[in-house]
Structure 1
Amino acid sequence: MDRRNFLKRATALGMVATLPRGLWGTPSIEQTVEAAPMTDKLWACLLNLSFNFAGQIKLFGGLRTEFELQMAVWDAAIERMVSNRVNMVFINLDDSVGWHSHPEISLAHSWSHTQLRQQLARLRKVGIEPMPMFNFSTTHDAWLGKYAKMVSSDKYYKVCADLIAEAIQLFDTPRFIHFGMDEERIDYQLSDYIVIRQQETWWADLYFYIAEAMKRGVRPCVWSDYVWHHPDDFFKMMPHSVVQCNWWYTEKFSINDVAIRSYLDLAREGYDIIATGSFDQNNPKSIGNTMRFCAEHIDKGHLLGFMQTFWRPVTETYRQPILQGIDLLGTARTDYENKKKKTV
């Protein structure tokens, strides 16, 4: 399987909607979705407005029906990000916005457009660049409600396109939009309705999402799980326009781990990377070790920066781990910059 032949066949079969030239490898569109060269690294956090992205959601109390974010914790997280010089935040939107295009998806008491825009303006004012995120992986799409059982259908594509367009408009054409696409395997869905896309169907849907972003001048990001399991197909099919958010959440870094090897493979093949760690399972060294490994092994031009994740609702129950995770990212940034000074 290779990208050009697949695209020709998929288009002929109607598997994908109108595709921008960037998916065919045309440089002009690639340039439209890439920001100007960055002099500073991205130091990003990921905040989840909703927990309905969780795989096997039944194991986590079931689907939420009401917006559960608590503003006191959100406010504290922003303040802590400012003090730790975090300069970007990916906001996992999913069902937590009052979508005009598809209000049937939205949780009760979701943020309105006005409320979301107020928070985006607030973030920008303190130097934090907000980026939208949806997770369209079938392991993480319970938030789509009935549409999660319509994957790859015309109706599904219409809903996804509407949400992507609305988010991009709300965020005033952001630099990036993240589409998730991780953990789409049976072992992550054993307690739920099981939907798994494979091979050409998976690629057709991915190309649909990224085309919706690229034609609006926004650069797509995805989790890099696919390269772990299908490296040959990945490097034939994945456009370089798509930022790779490779992740590894344990504290030990060994070349024997496929995710660690994938950092090296992605760098060798010239993909731009946002290296991702986490503070979700008593793993305080995760983001620091991620920073040290990637700073040493990835070409600085392709290492866009680092992201810290928490994988917890923004509620009082998880206030401390979220704030501590932000502090850990701040420490990683300080260590990175101190090391950089020593090498100058």
Structure 2
Amino acid sequence: MKYLLLIFTLISLNTINSSIKRVSCEKEARVYEKSTEKKPKVKALLLHMTHYDPSWNVRKESEASFSLEAGLAILNKMKESGFNTVILDIEDGVIYKSHPELTRHYSVPMDELKQFADSARELGIDFIPKLNFSRSGRNLHDKWLYPHWDELNFVSNRADYRKVALEVMEEIISVCKPQNYFHIGMDEDHHRSLNQYVETIIFFDNYLKNKGLQTVVWNDTAYENRDVIAQVHADKMKVAEPDLPKYITHIVWDYDLVHQGLVQRLTDFGFEVWVAPGDNLERIEKWDKVMKNEGGDGFLFTKWIKCSDENREILLNQIDRLKFI
């Protein structure tokens, strides 16, 4: 009887010990799983040499020049804060050798753009140039192409517009040597029909594809079914999506709301998807969960102000707040 009790006790202790080990292993696995949770492939910041939209357009006459010194400080802060990508809104912020007629009072020498791109690459930060070819009488996103830009009739001078656009892109690519992407804007496009809109994106994508670069566009569909100005752009982009090349990167932007299912719809098409969520930390955390659940690839953080000496500290502080992503 004593032997039976001893055997039973040993078996019980072994079972309990095995259970404890199993629970401990499961707990460690959960902790490990949490610590290695998928992080966004891309953590990007959008900076502006210049920009065109209603709030910028009224200040064009007094607009300051891009500050290379501020830009380099921002790149270093980005590196410290875990950013791996910078998108630089260029447009008429530089002096083009190919088209000096695009020069404005705030345009800086092309060498400053080269220094910025080279510095990003040395820090291991992917440099993405950005231009915008969206047509809109309200936002004027492509007015930087003036005098090759017509506010009223974009069809009549389209050949010249596109010729200049490609020559400018060629110069930027030659100087900056981007490795992966080129952002062509295309948000809030009001003037083009659906077919014209799709054809324009494909036109620029064909050029970039031949350069070995992936096209990036804004995606306006977060404003679908909302009684706002951007609803018309959301409707057009959603109908355009099936006709666009599936290797194009879409950046969904919404600085107010978080959307379930939107990223999933785009990833189901095969698109690479990033989100521009604004700078509210609680909203960013919610978007982060959506991205992980729906297969999103990255975040683009925005601050719609000039990269200038005046705005340097504002931009550095923004980057510092986003270390946790």
CA 1:249–1:158: 2 relative to 1, 3 Å: same
Letter in 1 for 2:172: A
Superimposed CA distance per residue, residues 116-142 of structure 1 (whole angstroms, 9 cap, x where no aligned partner): 222221111122121111011123112
Amino-acid identity (%): 23
What residue in structure 1 maps to residue 294 of structure 2? 298
Letter in 1 for 2:154: V
Superimposed CA distance per residue, residues 36-87 of structure 1 (whole angstroms, 9 cap, x where no aligned partner): xxx9711111101013x224644x42x2476522344323312211210211
Q: 2:220–2:237: 8 Å Cα contact kept in structure 1? A: no
- Alignment coverage as a number of residue pairs: 269
CA 1:115–1:318: 2 relative to 1, 3 Å: closer
Q: 2:217–2:248: 8 Å Cα contact kept in structure 1? A: yes
Match of 1:240 among 238, 246, 251: 246
What residue in structure 2 maps to residue 275 of structure 1? 275
Partner Cα separation in structure 1 for residue 311 and residue 106 of structure 2: 21
Superimposed CA distance per residue, residues 296-342 of structure 1 (whole angstroms, 9 cap, x where no aligned partner): x222xxx332211111111244334322321233211xxxxxxxxxx
Which runs of 5 or more residues in structure 2 are unaligned?
1-38, 222-232
CA 1:136–1:208: 2 relative to 1, 3 Å: same
Match of 2:125 among 115, 125, 128: 128
TM-score if structure 2 supplies the norm length?
Answer: 0.75
What residue in structure 1 maps to residue 188 of structure 2? 183
Match of 1:249 among 251, 255, 271: 255
What residue in structure 1 maps to residue 96 of structure 2? 99
CA 1:274–1:159: 2 relative to 1, 3 Å: same
CA 1:81–1:56: 2 relative to 1, 3 Å: closer
What residue in structure 1 maps to residue 170 of structure 2? 165
Which runs of 5 or more residues in structure 1 are unaligned?
1-38, 186-195, 256-260, 333-344
Q: Which has the larger radius of gyration?
A: 2
| Equivalent runs, 1:79-228 vs 2, <5 Å | 79-108=76-105, 110-138=107-135, 139=139, 140-149=141-150, 151-152=154-155, 153-185=158-190, 196-225=191-220, 228=234
* TM-fit CA distance, 1:154: 0.9
Q: 2:65–2:108: 8 Å Cα contact kept in structure 1? A: no
Q: 1:65–1:107: 8 Å Cα contact kept in structure 2? A: no
* Cα RMSD (Å): 2.5
Q: 1:66–1:107: 8 Å Cα contact kept in structure 2? A: no
What residue in structure 2 maps to residue 263 of structure 1? 263
What residue in structure 1 maps to residue 47 of structure 2? 47
Task: Describe the SS at the equivalent of 1:156.
Answer: helix
CA 1:286–1:142: 2 relative to 1, 3 Å: farther
